[in-house]
Structure 1
Amino acid sequence: MTHAIEVHGLSKSFQAGRKALDNVGLAVAPGEMVALLGASGSGKSTLLRHLAGFVAGDAGSGKVVVNGHVIQQGGRLARDVRQARAGIGFVFQQFNLVGRLPVITNVLTGMLPRVPLWRSLVRYFRNEEIDAGLEALAQVGIDDYAFRRASTLSGGQQQRAAIARTLVQNAQVILADEPIASLDPESARRVMELLAQINRTRKVAVVVSLHQVDVAMRYCPRVVALRHGQVVYDGPSSALTAAMLRDLYGTEADELLPHDAMQDAPGLAPAPAGLAAA
C-alpha cells in the first residue's frame, strides 16, 4: 500500500540533549483524518514541521516520505524539498497571513510553488487563477471578504482563508498545527468541520494536532498520541478512555480531558456545545 505519509525512526534533539522527537514511526493512508494528540511540549508541532520539510531531524536520523517524495533522510532535507512541498498544505495556529494584503492575494500564495519564479516574486496571477482563489474562498464561506485586507478579518475567518490557500494549492496532504487553539468555540467548530469536509470530499489526508481529546474524538477516526516525543498510542479514537489517558499522561492528562470527562468508562464526555455536531 502506498501511504500519503511515512515516517521511519525520526528523532530531533534540542538544547541540553532533550529529545523533542524520539525514534518516531508513523504511516498515514491517503484519505485518512488523523489527530496528533498531546499536552504542550509533547512534540506535535515539531513532528508536523518535519513532515513539511521546514526542519531536518538529527544527523543520521530517520526518513520522511510524503506523497511519494522523500522530504528528508538521515538528518538532511531533500534537494527537491521545495517541489515536494507543493503537495503539502500547512495550516498554522496563527494563520500565517500577511495582514496588509487582500485575502485573495494571501489565498493565491498557495499557487507559488508551481508558478514561474518571476510571477511569484511580483505576485502576478492570471484571471483563471484568481477565479480559482475566489472559488476556494466560496468553499470556505468567506468569498465576500476576498478583497478586504486580511487583518480586518476575525480569527476564525483568517483560519478559513488559510484553509482556502491549501485548496488553491491542490494539496494532497494537509497538516494543521493547533488550528483552533486561538479561536472561540463556534469558529473552532467551523474550522474543524471544514477540515473534515475537505478530507471526505477530496480524499485528502489530514493530520491535525490538538490538545483537546473530545475534539479529536469528534472529528478524527484515528488518534496518534505523543508524550515526550514518543508515540504512546496509535489507534481508534473511539477506544480512548479518560482512565487510559491518565495512565499515559499522568497529571498532564488534565490538559487534554474535558472538565466533565467520565472517570472510568469507555469514551469521553461529548464536545462542548460550540464544537458539537451541526
Structure 2
Amino acid sequence: MTAQSGAFDLLGRWLASITALQGASAKTVEAYQRDVSGFLGFLANHFGGDLGKAKLGTVKITDMRAWMAHERRRGVGPRSLARELSAVKSFYRWLGEAEGIEVTAPLATRAPKFKAQLPRPVAKDQAKAMIETVEFQTQDGWTGARDTAVITLLYGCGLRISEALGLTFAAVPLGETLRIRGKGDKDRVVPVLPAARKAVGSYLALCPFSHTAETPLFLGKKGKVLNPRHIQKVMEQTRMQLGMPATATPHAMRHSFATHLLEAGGDLRAIQELLGHASLSTTQAYTALDQAHLMAVYRKAHPKAG
C-alpha cells in the first residue's frame, strides 16, 4: 500500500461510516467523496508525495489557504468552496475521533463569505396562471393533464421535482395526506389539497399506460419515468407565454408554497416539517423574504416612504 493510498483508504472508511451510522444518502456520499478527493489530490501534489495518515495530521492553516487559493484559481465560487470546506472539516472531525489525528488547522479554517441567495417565489396569481396554462404546451391531452398534476403538486404540497417524479402508482388514489421520501431518505407527511387530488385524478383518467404499484406515477410518452427536464421546459414555455420572469422554475413553485404559507400566518417550524428541511435555519430564509416583501409594499403604499 502506498502512502498516498492510505489517505484515500481513510476517506473510504469515513464514507462507509457516515453511510452506516448517519444514514447519509447516496447523493450526499457522492458529493463528499468528490469534494474530499479533490482536497486530497491537491495535498498529494502540494506535499510532493507522502500522503499517509501521519501527513494528514501535519496540515497547517497555510496549507488550507493554499488549497482554497488553488480552488479559486480553478474558478470555484465562494458558495461552492464553502461547501467543499465543510466536507473537508467533516472528514477531519472523523479523523480526529477515529484516528487521533491533529485537526486544529483544518477545523479553524474560515469559509469564504458569500451573500446568501433568498428564494424567489412567484406571486399567487402567477402560480395559478402557471397551473392553468401549462397543459396547453403539449398536444396530447393526457400529457397536458400530467404536467398540470406535477406542477400542482410542486405548489400545492411543496414538493421538490425529484420527489414528485419519484412517486409511484402505490400513492394513488391520493388521500388527504401523502408520505414523501425526501433528502437523506427521510420521510415526511404533507397534506394534499383537493385541487392536487383533482389534478392527479384527471391525469390518471387519461394516462394510456398499464401499471403496477411500483410503476412511476408520472410517465413520459414512451411509458418510462418522466424526465424532470420536460417539466422545466414546459414551464419555460409557459412563463414566456405569460410574461413571467426566468425565476419561475419548478423549484420556485416549492418556494412559493412556503412563502404563501408564511404570508398567511403559517408557523415556521410547521413549514420546516412540510418542506423536509433538516435545519430550521434553511426555512428561516423565508422570514427574510417575507420581511423584504412587506417593506416593498410599505415603501410603495406609504405616502412618506422612499
Calculate the TM-score normalised by the size of structure 1: 0.24
| Structure with more relative contact order (C-alpha pairs < 8 Å, separation 6 or more) | 1
Which entry has the higher C-alpha Rg, 1 or 2?
Answer: 2
Calculate the TM-score normalised by the size of structure 2: 0.23
